[in-house]
């Protein structure tokens, strides 16, 4: 039996999205900047995608910019915004538990002379709004807070944060990394005070290499790619039409029955956590099941290194993660910023794995995973002690 429980790293593409991308590559392959019929046909797919994504978030179509994915969207939002607005101030705010696609640009901006405040989180991975209020200053030009943490599933109070930021300093811009939240929650930037929002396609059953950045109209942001001037000069380069259309199709499908799908995921998550409680000396990290993301379970197994458990489960056809796939190239001595941020004990930092589900996950797959773990973990602990 094969069980894929690494959906926070990437997802299986919806067949409908894959078929649409394949059709465009075979038949409607024109350059959307071309003036002939093939170009016009390609441009129609981009228009369809903008209309679809804008409708899901209740924003304007002209506020959607297509990118190669979440990392590019985050970099464009943070660096582009900082460089465009530095005369108004050089203070930025983020959290200690952001994805590397946010933390690394923040470190780069510090090297460029910006000051960054890193907000701490509580044991459930959630920031304090009071800390945020105290951190916003007259020279704060940007706040970046992720919607859903990719490692432990903590969901930040984004709407409350957006309202607070605008009350304290209406000129401060608010960016949200929604890579793990989009498709699992309804996100309306206009209602939440969000000025920029990053999304990645391969987290919602679209292909890899496609994403988008929402940028509220009149927000000043510098481009980082120069070339043909596509997408109003903000992101030059011939648009990835098959990916863009597939992204819109996948988003459409994710939101078609969102309430039903989220409820199913929460039910599976609670069932899985209940089963994990039968294993001695394990800890589920992050918020209570219904207070966090519906699809992520972070588990620390005392006495078993995460990579050992990962490969042992892999041998049984079960695929999980030892943490954020995007952070796997960092030196292991650094550990997870998220796990350190929630105060996880040192001996558990390298004994933590992530299970992440999708709309394709079944109860039978979780039963198989639990049965394997019941037999495997005592053996791995015995081997580790030797």
Judge whether 219 and 173 are in contact, CB under 8 Å: yes
Out of 255, 274, 306, a domain closes at 255
Q: What is the CATH number of the domain that holds 220?
A: 3.40.640.10
Looking at the fold, whether 268 and 249 belong to one and the same domain comes out as no
Looking at the fold, whether 149 and 84 belong to one and the same domain comes out as yes
Out of 237, 255, 273, a domain closes at 255
Strand, coil or helix: 6? strand
Q: For 57-116, how does the pLDDT look when each residue is reduced to its tens digit (9 = 90+)?
A: 999 999 999 999 999 999 999 999 999 999 999 999 999 999 999 999 999 999 999 999
Looking at the fold, whether 132 and 272 belong to one and the same domain comes out as no
Judge whether 350 and 306 are in contact, CB under 8 Å: yes
Q: In 3D, which of 127, 114, 119 has the Cα closest to residue 85? A: 114
* Residue 176 CB neighbours (<10 A): 29
Looking at the fold, whether 191 and 59 belong to one and the same domain comes out as yes
φ, ψ for residue 31, nearest 5 deg: -80, 125
Q: Which domain holds residue 358?
A: 3-11+257-385
81 is catalytic: no
Looking at the fold, whether 331 and 213 belong to one and the same domain comes out as no
Give the chain's domain count: 2
Looking at the fold, whether 232 and 221 belong to one and the same domain comes out as yes
Per the rule left: phi > 0, alpha: psi between -120 and 50, beta: everything else, 187 is beta
Looking at the fold, whether 204 and 293 belong to one and the same domain comes out as no
Average pLDDT, the chain: 95
pLDDT exceeds 60 at position 324: no
* pLDDT confidence bin for 383, thresholds 50/70/90: confident
Please tell me the distance from the alpha carbon of residue 69 to that of residue 198, in angstroms, as a whole number.
Answer: 8
Looking at the fold, whether 365 and 330 belong to one and the same domain comes out as yes
CB-based burial label for 31 (10 Å; 0-12, 13-18, 19+): middle
Please tell me the distance from the alpha carbon of residue 65 to that of residue 154, in angstroms, as a whole number.
Answer: 27
Looking at the fold, whether 63 and 190 belong to one and the same domain comes out as yes
Looking at the fold, whether 171 and 290 belong to one and the same domain comes out as no
Please tell me the distance from the alpha carbon of residue 71 to that of residue 160, in angstroms, as a whole number.
Answer: 25
Looking at the fold, whether 173 and 209 belong to one and the same domain comes out as yes
* pLDDT confidence bin for 6, thresholds 50/70/90: very high
Looking at the fold, whether 110 and 162 belong to one and the same domain comes out as yes
Out of 215, 236, 255, a domain closes at 255
What integer pLDDT is reported at residue 274 of this predicted model?
A: 98
Q: For 271-280, how does the pLDDT look when each residue is reduced to its tens digit (9 = 90+)?
A: 999 999 999 9
Q: For 225-236, how does the pLDDT look when each residue is reduced to its tens digit (9 = 90+)?
A: 999 999 999 999
Q: What is the CATH number of the domain that holds 376?
A: 3.90.1150.10
Active-site entry in 284, 326, 370, 380 = 326
Q: Count CA atoms within 13 Å of residue 223 on its CB side.
A: 16
């Amino acid at each position: 039996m094969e069980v894929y429980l690494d959906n926070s790293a990437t997802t299986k593409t919806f067949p409908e999205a894959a078929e649409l991308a394949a059709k465009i590559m075979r038949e409607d392959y024109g350059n959307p900047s071309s003036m002939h019929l093939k170009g016009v046909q390609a441009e129609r797919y981009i228009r369809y995608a903008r209309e679809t994504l804008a409708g899901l978030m209740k924003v304007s179509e002209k506020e959607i910019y297509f990118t190669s994915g979440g990392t590019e969207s985050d970099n464009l939002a943070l660096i582009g915004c900082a460089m465009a607005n530095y005369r108004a101030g050089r203070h930025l705010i983020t959290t200690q538990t952001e994805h590397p696609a946010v933390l690394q640009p923040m470190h780069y901006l510090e090297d460029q002379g910006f000051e960054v405040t890193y907000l701490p989180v509580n044991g459930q991975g959630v920031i304090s709004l009071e800390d945020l209020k105290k951190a916003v200053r007259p020279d704060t030009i940007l706040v970046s807070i992720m919607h859903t943490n990719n490692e432990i599933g903590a969901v930040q109070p984004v709407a409350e944060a957006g309202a607070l930021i605008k009350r304290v300093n209406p000129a401060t811009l608010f960016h949200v990394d929604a890579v793990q939240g989009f498709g699992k929650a309804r996100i309306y930037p206009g209602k939440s005070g969000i000025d920029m929002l990053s999304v990645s396609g391969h987290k919602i059953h679209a292909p890899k290499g496609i994403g988008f950045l929402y940028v509220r109209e009149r927000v000043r942001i510098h481009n980082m790619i120069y070339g043909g001037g596509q997408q109003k000069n903000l992101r030059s380069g011939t648009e990835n039409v098959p990916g863009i259309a597939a992204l819109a199709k996948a988003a459409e499908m994710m939101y078609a029955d969102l309430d039903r799908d989220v409820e199913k995921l929460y039910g599976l998550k609670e069932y899985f956590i209940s089963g994990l409680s039968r294993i001695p000396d394990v800890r589920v990290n992050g918020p209570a099941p219904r207070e966090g993301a519906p699809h992520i379970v972070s588990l620390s197994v005392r006495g078993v290194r995460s990579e050992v458990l990962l490969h042992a489960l892999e041998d049984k056809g079960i695929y999980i993660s030892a943490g954020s796939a995007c952070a796997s190239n960092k030196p292991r001595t650094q550990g997870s910023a998220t796990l350190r941020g929630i105060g996880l004990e040192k001996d558990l930092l390298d004994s933590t794995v992530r299970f992440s589900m999708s709309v394709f996950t079944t109860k039978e797959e979780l039963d198989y995973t639990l049965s394997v773990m019941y037999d495997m973990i005592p053996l791995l602990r015995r081997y580790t002690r030797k």
